[in-house]
Chains A and B, each alone.
Chain A
Amino acid sequence: MSDKPLAPAIEGWHTMEVKPHLIGTQCKECGSYFFPKNTAYCRNPACDSTEFSEVELSRTGHIWSYTNACYKPPEPFVATDPFKPYAIAAVQLEKEQMVVLGQVIEGVECEQLKVGMPVELVLEALHETDDDIKMTWKWKPVTR
């Protein structure tokens, strides 16, 4: 990896700290969380609010399920050459009562994962451009 500056792959979807958080919104009326951010209309059928607060989502959760990608996805995915398979996890966040997908950090394979396993959010490179390294959120098993 080069010494280029780090930049979020998608602007404004997560903080850039060492212990990062996904940035979502919460309905001011009913308390429903949304990720990606929803700022226009509450999707709870019992709520017609248009007021939202930007919130940092829990950065830990439990694996709902997991898999991997053995083949290179099509664009806009930017693949390394040769393509390196990666694991993917769907993670249940307790407080928000929602499931969020993401890649699992490099070096962790499916054999090391299990439904119910605790994981935390970290940042890792998604791909590199001429100007910077695009960072995204990934799930990392919590080591005790």
Chain B
Amino acid sequence: MSNEIAILGVGMHPWGKWGHNFVQYGVAAAREALQDANVPWQDVKFVSGGATVRCGYPGYVAGATFAQALGWQGAEVNTSYAACASGSQALAAARNKILAGGCDVALVVGADTTPKGFLAPAGGYRPEDPDWVRFYLGITNPTYFALYARRRMDLYGDTLDDFAAVKVKNSRIGSKNPRARYRKCFTAEDVAASAMVADPLRLMDICATSDGGAALIVSSVEYAQRIGKGDAPRVAAISTTTPTFASSVVEMPDIATDSAAAAGVEAHAFRSTLPLKAYEEAGIGPEDVDLAEVYDLSTALELDWIEDLRLAPRGEAAALLRAGDTAIGGKIPVNVSGGLACFGEAVPAQALAQICELTWQLRGEAGDRQVAGARVGITANQGLFGHGSSVIVKR
């Protein structure tokens, strides 16, 4: 397939609160990926970095920062910012470069050091900025996750026990992941005993923010074959689509949705349209997927994504969970890395970390977390204002 690229190597710096500069994590991840690929750094001709912005300071010029840290060797650079989907956009840029014949091998890297406390907007009186408006009105990130969770409860009958079961499942498998930050096997009682943050979500239903780094070495299929890695896992599809007007689910940081009042305009739920392009591009369907790594900002959101990726009919993800089918050994294991529940968000790195996990799984190298016979994996991530990413990796 002409649109595919090979994943020659992957690497991660363990997630945690290490307190170092983000560059250190990215360099560690990149070096591990280079070693895993057995490709010399000098052969990398394109460095694509996932970026983030802190407190209005656009100083995380990730592509160039990592190229410099690894040692300038004349590679071209790119930097992509798409909030939590940054890593997928950086991967898309590398894929375009490779498929256009601009290079054989590229490094895709993302890393972050998360500041302490809330991520708050710049001050002043700035009602033209939706992020300022929603914080002024008392609407934080967990507000949005909780609105989606409560809707599941009222519409589909999901329960607090279901949400806790997602945390228990992810912590159990994540405890076997040496790169995860939280490796304790939490119980439903632990979740129930944690403080309510945004009803119905408790502290342990919501993911933390972490330091971490992830990197991929990707190449043309021809290059992979040339160095004897023709059977390496491949990126089969990347969807970074925006919503379709009228986007009908209120998304961070907006305080209102589009209006679907105009003639000929229909309401669209964004998350469920995002994977369509990925499936189409890969030429496969949800029934072909062996495992998924999804963006579990909250336990309930994992259930939304399972339905958005069409791995279960709408409203039936909790039934799949209750049957044990989203756990390892089940029909469609979800977040066998442990997910954000065990890692926490490291914004520019997390979309790449998902691909690292899928790569290990597809190579059969995931150890205690191995999904038997995994051949196809899919990811889901969300950016701001409802854009996002979904990547399919297959072998």
Interface residues of A, Cβ cutoff 8 Å to B: 9-11, 13, 27, 30-36, 43-47, 64-71, 73-77, 86, 88, 90, 95-103, 110, 114-116, 126, 136
Contact = CB atoms under 8 A, between A and B. Distances in A.
B259 interface: yes
A101 B264 CA distance: 25
B255 A45 contact: no
Given A69-B138, A102-B137, A103-B137, 19 more contacts: A11-B127, A33-B259, A65-B154, A67-B150, A67-B201, A69-B143, A71-B140, A73-B118, A73-B135, A73-B138, A74-B140, A75-B135, A76-B124, A77-B135, A95-B261, A98-B258, A100-B257, A101-B250, A115-B154
Given A10-B133, A31-B261, A76-B121, A68 B199 contact: yes
Nearest to B260: A97
A10 to B, nearest CB: 5
- B: interface residue count bin: 35 or more
Given A88-B143, A101-B255, A101-B256, A43 B245 contact: yes
B123, B195, B256, B263 — which one has the most chain A CB atoms within 10 A of its CB?
Answer: B256
Interface string B121-139: 1011101001011111111
Nearest to B202: A70
Nearest to B267: A97
B146 A98 contact: no
13 contacts: A31-B263, A32-B246, A36-B130, A46-B264, A67-B147, A68-B146, A71-B197, A73-B135, A74-B120, A76-B124, A97-B246, A98-B246, A99-B250
Contacts of B146: 67-68
Contacts of A31: 261-263
Given A10-B133, A68-B198, A70-B195, A30 B151 contact: no
A32 B261 CA distance: 5
A85 B259 CA distance: 30
A65 B135 contact: no
Contact of A96 (B138, B149, B261): B261
Interface of A is mostly: loop
Given A70-B198, A76-B123, A101-B139, A44 B133 contact: no
Contacts, number: 153
Interface of B is mostly: loop
Given A67-B143, A76-B123, A32 B135 contact: no
A70 B136 contact: no
A46 B262 CA distance: 10
B227 interface: no
A115 B137 contact: no
B147 A90 contact: yes
Contacts of B143: 67, 69, 88, 101
B150 to A, nearest CB: 5
The 10 closest A-B pairs by CB, nearest first: A67-B146, A115-B154, A74-B120, A33-B259, A74-B118, A97-B260, A30-B262, A65-B147, A98-B259, A65-B151
B385 to A, nearest CB: 11
